[in-house]
Amino acid sequence: MADHVRKQLRTAVTAALVAAVMPSVGARVYPSRVYPADDDNLPCVLVYATSEANEVETLDGDFEQRSISIRVEGLAKVALNLDDVLDQIAKEVEDVLDGPLTVGAFTTQLQYLGSEITMRADLETPCGSVALVFEAVLHTSQADTIVGA
């Protein structure tokens, strides 16, 4: 039985970001991280499948269209030009996710919806995040099997 479609999508996004070895974060790509990020794992990128909206596609209800939000967060802690560092992470993430993404047996295209930057001076070095939101639309059977993208 296939994994939940959100897990499949999150895994595919994470794999694409890891494979790209983005210069700004290297291999520090963490799916669904819940613990604070410290100096050992910064800068980094976090991947979450945050929400999903479903629509029934057929009268018998056997097929659904799932619009899934993927949130990719870049975190950094640097003394100088924090905004530039966050923008660079955002650029690299957008470049990687701009292309076709294989999820299961199908290829989909993420739509970039926007981003938000937050910067703080609470710690010994300025730190902040850039959160990028993408959306993927996948078509599934009731059994969660992807039947189209």
Partner 1 sequence: MPMTENNEDFLNTEEHATLALFGPSSTPIKGIFENAYLTAEVGGSVPISGRTPVFYTPESYVPAPKGKLLVVGGANYTIMFSEPDGTGWTNLILEKA
Residue with smaller CB distance to partner 1, 59 or 123 = 123
Q: Closest Cα to residue 50, out of 149, 115, 134, 106?
A: 134
Name the minimum Å distance from CB 65 to partner 1. 26
Q: Closest Cα to residue 74, out of 63, 85, 66, 64?
A: 85
Name the minimum Å distance from CB 76 to partner 1. 9
Round to whole Å and give the CA distance between 143 and 1: 9
Name the minimum Å distance from CB 61 to partner 1. 33
Residue with smaller CB distance to partner 1, 82 or 146 = 82
Residue with smaller CB distance to partner 1, 49 or 138 = 49
Round to whole Å and give the CA distance between 116 and 132: 7
Name the minimum Å distance from CB 75 to partner 1. 6
Interface residues with partner 1 (CB under 8 A) are 33-39, 42, 46, 48, 71, 73, 75, 77, 79, 116-129, 131
Residue with smaller CB distance to partner 1, 72 or 97 = 72
Residue with smaller CB distance to partner 1, 127 or 138 = 127
Q: What angle do CA 71, 35, 98 make, to 5 degrees?
A: 20
Round to whole Å and give the CA distance between 27 and 29: 6
Backbone angles phi, psi at 10, to 5 degrees: -60, -40
Name the minimum Å distance from CB 28 to partner 1. 13
Round to whole Å and give the CA distance between 129 and 116: 8
